[in-house]
Structures are given as C-alpha cells and as structure tokens.
Amino acid sequence: MNILLGGLLAVAAADTLWLQNDRLRLGFDPTNGSLLELADRASGQSFVDGRRATAIWRLDGLGPGALRVVPSAARRFFWHEVAGGGPGLALVWSDFGLNEAPGLRVTATVRLLGDSALSEWRIAVDSPGAMAIEQVRFPRLTGIPQLGSGEELAVPRWMGALARDPATLLAGPDGKGRRLEWAYPGTLSLQVMALYRRGGAGLYAAADDTLAYRKTFAIWGDSDGSRGYELIHPLENPASPRRQWALAYAALLGTFHGDWITVAERYRAWGTRQPWARESRLVRGRVPDWLLRTGMWVWNRGRSAGVVPPALALQRALGLPVNIYWHWWHHGPYDTSFPDYLPPREGVDSFRAGVAAAHAAGSHAMVYMNQRLWCTGTPSWASEHAAHWAVKEKDGRVREETYNVFDPQPCATMDVTTPFWRAKYAGIADTVLDGYGVDGIYMDQAVQSLVCWDSTHGHPVGGGNYWMGGFRALAAQIRAAAAPGRQVLLAGEGAGEPWLPELDLMLTLQVSQERYSDPSSGWEPIPFFQAVYHAYGVTYGNYSSLVMPPYDELWPAQFAPPPPGPLELLDTRFRRQFYLEQARAFVWGLQPTIANFRASQLTDRPEETAYMMRLARIRARVLEYLLYGTFLRPPELSVPSVDVDLSRVSIYAARRGGPTVSVARYPAAIAGAWRAAEGSVAIAVASIVDEPTSVSFAFDPAAYGLAQGGQIERIDEGGRRPFGEFSSTVVPIALELPAGGAYVLEFRRSRRP
C-alpha cells in the first residue's frame, strides 16, 4: 500500500511504514509504532538497529517503584496521516489495561521538515486518570551503532565539549556501559547534541523550546557496544489530575554530514532568530561601555592590597583597560559562609578605598556572590528561617551541595523564584553596588536551573520553566535598585542561551579544562557556544595562572600549604599550558583573563606575561571580529604537534590527593576564523611554543563568501601591514611565527579607507 503525503512518499509495506524525503528516511513498524530506521539517505547510514525495534517513548510514574508505561503495553495501536504542515504521521497507542488510567492514550506525531534532513517529534498523553506521571522520555533511540574511525560526540556542556572516542567513553570503565546526561537550561548551553563520524554522517538531536522548559538530554552505551539516546521531559505538578499533557515544544531528530561546527551552524540558523538573541544585552546595547573596552581581566582573591595594585600594575604594562574579577572579598570563608558576605573581610572603609583606587586608575571591579547557595552552618540560616525558601527534594528535604574539600560544610540551594531569596540577594547586591561602589556582580552558579518540589513557593512543582522566570526577576530587581543611569554589570558562571537577555558577561572556563579535570576524562573543550552566539554575548574566563593556587586565610590552618605558602611560582615546564589557555581564549573570541596575578610576575615570568599581553593587544585591534564577529570554520593548519606538560592543580582539584601532572599532545599553533558585520574575514593564529614555528594553511575565498577577491593585511601588536592579495582561487598561506608569536590575517574585499 502506497500513501502520498504532501508530495513525499510514505509506504506502508507488510513490515515497515516509511516517512522519507531525499535526505532523511524514517521507518516504523505499522503494527506497534516502533522505530525501525532513522537513516541518512546520502550515505545509507542508519542510526537505529533495524533488527530490534525501538520503543520511542516511556512514561515514568511518580515515586519509588512507580509504574512505567511503554508502547508494548498497549493492546491497541493505529497510525494515520497528519494533515497540514508538511508530511507527517500520528502514531497512537491505547487500551493499556490500567485500572488507574483506563482511558490512557499516547499520541506521537512525527513530521519531516520540508526537504531538510530534520524531523519534528511531538507527544501528547490523553486521559492519564489517576496515574501521576513524573516524566516522559521522548524520543528514545536504542541500538545506535558505532560509526567507526573518526567518530565524535559533541555536547554544548556550557562552552562545549568534544569526545573523540565516544566508544570508549560510553563503554565506561568496566566496559559494561555508561550513561551520561545533561540538564537544560543549565549545564547545556544549547538544546542540541550530535554523534557523528568526522566527514561522514551524523545524528543531530535537538529541541526547539523557546520558553526554557526543564529537560534532560541523555546518551548511554550498552554492553554490546550499541548506544541509546533520549530526551527527558519532567512534568509540572505531576501528582495533579489532568485530562491531557502535551509537550510544549518539539524534539528534533535528523542527520547531517560534517562535524560539530556543521551542527553549530545549523543550530545558529535557528537560535539567532529566537527572542534570547534578539533581546540579548549585547545586541540591544545594554552592556556597560567599560565592559566592551576591557583589555584583560585579573582574577584575584582576598583583600584589596592583593587584588587592586596587581591589576593596576598590569594595566600600566599592557596599555589597555584591566578590570578586576574579585573573589574572597567577603566576610566569611569561601564556600562555607554564603550569603553572609557583609561586611568585607578587610572592613568597609578599606574595601571602599580599594575600589576607589581602581576607579581612579580607570579600572572596574566585579565581586563574587554565589547566586543560589546558603550555607547551613551560618547563623543566618537559622535566624532568618531560610530553610523554608530552599529548593526541596521530592521527599521534602532541603537540597544541599558541598564544595569545600578542606571544611566540607553543606550549603542549601535557594529557590530563585521566591521573593524572599530574591530580596535577600538583591539587598546584598545593592549594598555592594551602591554602598561600596563596586561595578558589577559575578553571580556564581547563575547559569543553572533546578527542579523544586516545594508547593508553598508559588511555582509548579517538578518540571516547568519557572526557574528562568525567577532569574529574570532577580536580575531586574538588582538593576532597578541602581541609581538612574548607573551601568550595573551582571556576570554568570557558565554560558546559556536563555540568559543572554539578563547577563552582560558569561564565564566559560573550559579553555582551562586541563587545570581542574581528569586528563583521561575523554573530553576536550570546543567553542560550541561561541560558534552559535558569539555576536550575541560576551564571554571571558581562564584559570590560566603562573602560580600555585591561593588558599583562603579563613580556611582551616592545618591544610594551608607549607612555606613558601600559596602563590608559589609554577615551574616553567608548564609554560606551554599557559600559552595554550591564553591562545584558546584569543582565537575563540573570549575576553582574556589571568588568575592569581602579582606584579612581580612581569619580571619573574617575562615570557609568559609578554605572551598574554601580546594576544590582548592584537585582540584590541580587531574587536569587530573577536568581540562582535560571527564564528566561522577555521582553516586546517599544517603545523607539528608538541608535548605539553599539564598542571592539574586549582583551588580544590588535587589539593587533597590525586594526580597533578600529565602530558598531552597539542598542535604547536591554533587558529580561529571570524566574520565582521560588514563581511570581511579574519583568521587569528597563535603559537603555543617558545620557539619559531612555521604555519601554513589554504584559504578558500569562496568558502568564506569572498569569491570576488581582495586584499590581505597582517595584524600584530604593533599594527597593520599589507600581506598580499587574493582572487577567487584557493590561496596558500605561509606564516613564520616567532617564539610565542601570534597574528591576525584580515581578508577584505577592498582596502580600508
């Protein structure tokens, strides 16, 4: 039986119901709705195992031991064509024989999106009766095969993470399989992930939610080497009776050819048309002017004497504005005393004087304030009855987190939707901003969302999109309290598209991943978020440091490092790691940052400090690319790989044991490519070695929209100079980078005026 759907053929054969176009082919079992095929038609690669049926959904009941409903439990199934909106099928399951839900019906609707390689998946649950559904898993794929050599897994875990060996990663340490999952909005900055073979076919899994509903993307490996994927949707008020629940957005499944940059380009075409992009603070011109002029951030900790003078010394040496990212200014010890930040540990007058000294020199400061933690050992926890306004688990317990490895005291996660917590946090922020003269607040853990089960907080319990509403209200409350015309900077830890209209600045620390994560984790950082939203939000951050980490003077004395104490200079063997971190920030379009800086480092580590200042000065000459530009696919550099000694020591990492040194191979130079708003293109190249390096690559003008030809200029910290011309043909580019060298090559259709 052949059925023509919207000009595309759906074929109900004896064993398969096909929904297909020229690029994508979906096959379902017409007797039970199982997915038999999800195939890229150009390559023939299928992303499910047709030999075993895939149940595309599961309903999970609320509570331990609760009922799980799967498609095979239905005693009746039928399908029908869906009219309008492109070719599609409705798959309908009913008659589950459940006493608590006798009329239960589940309908999954699958459509092809025009002639693209994407399909749209929606689900509705009718007549659940007395069944309390906690979450719906949809769509679900099982039996995803290994894709062979060159397979990669790309996940927008905040800035972005790439696994170059997903088979080993998903097999787990015992080879029996491992499950990985990430929440959105929060740890996932984008609603997409991709599994592919580089240069071959890949699976694209996404959602098109513009309202920031809580969801979890999951991928897992099975003991036989196959994989699974599912998107999990927690329901609002799962215990409340309802006649129907329908997914408020669509899940997307499709195929592509390429790599993570291909995925970013596809997602960018959608994401930059959404409200968070149109309303981003950078696009609307709402970010503070001084943020845009920032030449470098100094991330220092403690009293003003160890924070402000080093930043001003660097500013004098650099010749560009240096701003201060200030931790440990607060009254109590870090990670055990929040939110009892006031007064500053050095006293109000001394702290104000430090801020004033920064302002007098043209520098600005933002201070650390955790956006969601209230440590339960603080006197204020009991005296202000804060437990009532904390996030609750399903069993009613306060949700707690513990971070301090030297004094492991728990902290409660506070519910940002509650007026109580917003007033508490905004009140402290007002004192810091207006009372102390600070220019901004760094809101640690801001780019996260949580599920709360406290029905007295005024939001739905369980799933929903209430968290972002609470954060928007908090940001507005802080800014509304500022003096008229005062530019208040709000920064957040991590990156996430729903926060673009609220935050001026986002911390993307993954450029320094090697300093705090296991070198054998299987992940490497990629600028996934910047590849999508660089022109819509400012990012910064780096653990890049030339010294051992600091130790809070208020932490237990018995764990303090022995003489010479904290901030001891690291061995110069780690120079390449420092270069790598600074180079990533440079070519990936972040504002540069150095942590734990002291003025003495200008003379004690002249090569490293000269390198970071060189990159900052070059960046300042090309802000149309490295601040406002759109990410492009960088050229493949012909450059040798080198060994890089890595120091894995940060505030907590490896401080109580564990490996601290490893070696890995990296290219001796890395590159990024950017397009300015007027169409010109820049290739940023930075060496990570302290000897001269030859770098070459092929520049294809047509691939960058410059097929008409034009001029090339080379930009370094000293200025611009002509480098050559290009026509419509591929141009071979050869660069001789000096030790620790960096250049930007600008390709323009016409000369600058």
**Which residues of the chain register pLDDT less than 50?**
1-13
Biggest distance spanned by C-alpha atoms of the chain: 84
From residue 583, alpha-carbon distances to 482, 626, 644 in Å are 37, 13, 14
Residue pair 161/469 in contact (Cβ under 8 Å)? The answer is: no
Q: How many angstroms separate the CA atoms of 712 and 745, rounded?
A: 7
The whole-number pLDDT of residue 293 equals 98
Tell which phi-psi region holds residue 498, choosing left (phi > 0), alpha (psi between -120 and 50) or beta.
Answer: alpha
Q: How many angstroms separate the CA atoms of 730 and 700, rounded?
A: 4
The whole-number pLDDT of residue 409 equals 97
Three-state SS string over 276-328 comes to HHHCCCCCCCCCCHHHHCCCEEEEEECCHHHCHHHHHHHHHHHCCCEEEEEEC
Beta bridge mates, 133: 61
Residue pair 674/629 in contact (Cβ under 8 Å)? The answer is: yes
Residue pair 119/242 in contact (Cβ under 8 Å)? The answer is: no
Length of the chain as a residue count? 753
Q: How many angstroms separate the CA atoms of 191 and 714, rounded?
A: 38
Which residue is listed with tokens 């003269």? Answer: 437
State the DSSP code for 637: P
Q: How many angstroms separate the CA atoms of 82 and 458, rounded?
A: 38
Amino acid occupying residue 220: W
What stretches of 559-712 show up as alpha helix (H) in DSSP? Answer: 575-587, 601-604, 606-621, 623-626
Sequence-separated (6 or more) residues with CB below 8 Å from residue 23: 40, 41, 42, 115, 116, 117, 255
Q: Encoding tokens for residue 528? A: 């996934």
Which residue is listed with tokens 């007027």? Answer: 678
Helices (H) and strands (E) in the chain — how many of each? 15, 43
- Looking at domain 667-748, its CATH architecture is Sandwich (2.60)
The whole-number pLDDT of residue 659 equals 59
Q: Encoding tokens for residue 695? A: 């770098």
- Looking at domain 2-271, its CATH architecture is Distorted Sandwich (2.70)
The whole-number pLDDT of residue 433 equals 98
The whole-number pLDDT of residue 12 equals 46
Of the candidates 319, 321, 309, 303, the residue with the CA atom closest to the CA atom of residue 601: 309
Residue pair 523/162 in contact (Cβ under 8 Å)? The answer is: yes
Residue-by-residue DSSP string for 249-261? S-EEEEEEES-HH
Q: Residue 184: which H helix or E strand, with range?
A: strand 179-184
Q: How many angstroms separate the CA atoms of 467 and 417, rounded?
A: 6
- List where CATH 2.60.40.1180 sits in the chain: 667-748
Sequence-separated (6 or more) residues with CB below 8 Å from residue 123: 57, 106, 107, 108, 109, 136, 138, 246, 247
The whole-number pLDDT of residue 2 equals 37
Q: How many angstroms separate the CA atoms of 47 and 56, rounded?
A: 13
Q: How many angstroms separate the CA atoms of 568 and 570, rounded?
A: 6
First-to-last C-alpha distance (Å) of the chain: 67
